[in-house]
Structure 1
Amino acid sequence: MGRTEQGIENSAGRYSAIPRVLALITFEGVAGSGREVLLLKGAPDKKIWPNLYNGVGGHVEAGEDVFGAARREIREETGLTVTDLRMRGIVHIDAGAARGILMFVFTARSETRTVVASGEGALEWWPADRLPEARTMVADLPLLLAKALGRPADAPPFSARYWYDEADRLRMEFDG
């Protein structure tokens, strides 16, 4: 199949989506200390989500697959090389315009707690059973943490759709 058979040149005016990745990284502590989750608290001067906790991630670059993008973003934002990278969900975010976002949600494990700071914000390890208050997180993060980290290893990825209502409030609907 050639490029023209993909129909891209005839897509003017059609809805399109920007691909992004979000990674939720865990560390299994020493015996008895339990699992920890790495969260990034957005820098105060960040354009989106300043001072709010989120996972790590970003845009998928041209020519990159989503797993490669997740590994790259993890390395860039944390300095970590992770294991057990798994796609746990796909979220379609309808921003109400001619474009939306397709977010690929991953989990991964780190063998170390040692991270390298980036300009994105402060990296903090949190006990999985004592995460920060929901009001200090990006709006969908509490649900994504539960959906992604609470999933059996062999479960298929979840799917979700987000949209904004008339009052510009984020609405979320998950499969199942």
Structure 2
Amino acid sequence: MTDLNPQIILPGRYSFVARTLTLLLREEKVLMQKAPLTKKIWAGHYNGIGGHIENGEDVLSSARRELLEESGLECTDLHLCGVVTIEVQPSQGILMFVLSGSRLVGEPRPSEEGELEWIAVDELPQYPVVEDIPMLIEKIKNNDQIFFGHYSYDSVGKLVATFSYSAPQPL
């Protein structure tokens, strides 16, 4: 940061770590990544593809980079579907940008982040998936509007999710 940059984060303000999550949908299937058992979070669980937004990246370029790094794929119709705020600590949370697409270039290949598998959406309950994945897929498939979500966890660690939608735009 230079003295010429007027943007600041005031001490004590709630802040977010920005991440992307990409859910590729094709013919009622979703491309899922199974995390290795050695992973710190969601070990052995299926999730979408994504990660942290790096310095100098916008949301779309980050999602494209993560997709290429973790799957070997490019997606020509990748688009924003929703934004979710996730409570983590009293002073910091996660800001997750959810993207989707279906027009792919290349063939899926595994990476150190996990194995890849196309799974029928209606068969997801048979797999160990990260708990929000089924509801995010439902939001993507059943709405033309961008969704906004908020996640918190109750006293027993159960996910509490709320969603709202952008107002329809006039033609």
Measured against the shorter chain, the TM-score band is: 0.7 to 0.9
Q: Does 1:126 align with 2:119?
A: yes
Percent of aligned pairs with the same amino acid: 40
C-alpha displacement of 1:112: 5.8
Report the count of equivalent residues. 163
**TM-score computed with the length of structure 1 as normaliser:** 0.85
RMSD: 1.9
Which whole-Å CA distance do the structure 2 matches of 1:108 and 1:170 have between them?
A: 26
Spell out the pairing of 1:94-133 with structure 2 (5 A cutoff).
94-111=87-104, 114-128=107-121, 130-133=122-125
The 8 Å contact of residues 72 and 106 in structure 2, kept in 1 or not, is answered as no
Task: Return the letter of the residue paired with 1:171.
Answer: V
Which whole-Å CA distance do the structure 2 matches of 1:135 and 1:115 have between them?
A: 20
Please list every run of 5 or more consecutive structure 2 residues that lacks an aligned counterpart in the other structure: 166-171
Q: Which residue of 2 aligns with 1:18?
A: 17
Which whole-Å CA distance do the structure 1 matches of 2:72 and 2:127 have between them?
A: 27
Task: Return the letter of the residue paired with 1:63.
Answer: G
Q: Which residue of 2 aligns with 1:143?
A: 135
C-alpha displacement of 1:168: 2.5
Which residue, 39, 48, 67 being the options, matches 1:74? 67
The 8 Å contact of residues 74 and 106 in structure 2, kept in 1 or not, is answered as no
Please list every run of 5 or more consecutive structure 1 residues that lacks an aligned counterpart in the other structure: 28-33
Which whole-Å CA distance do the structure 1 matches of 2:44 and 2:97 have between them?
A: 23
Which whole-Å CA distance do the structure 1 matches of 2:138 and 2:106 have between them?
A: 21
State the secondary structure of the residue aligned to 1:97.
Answer: coil
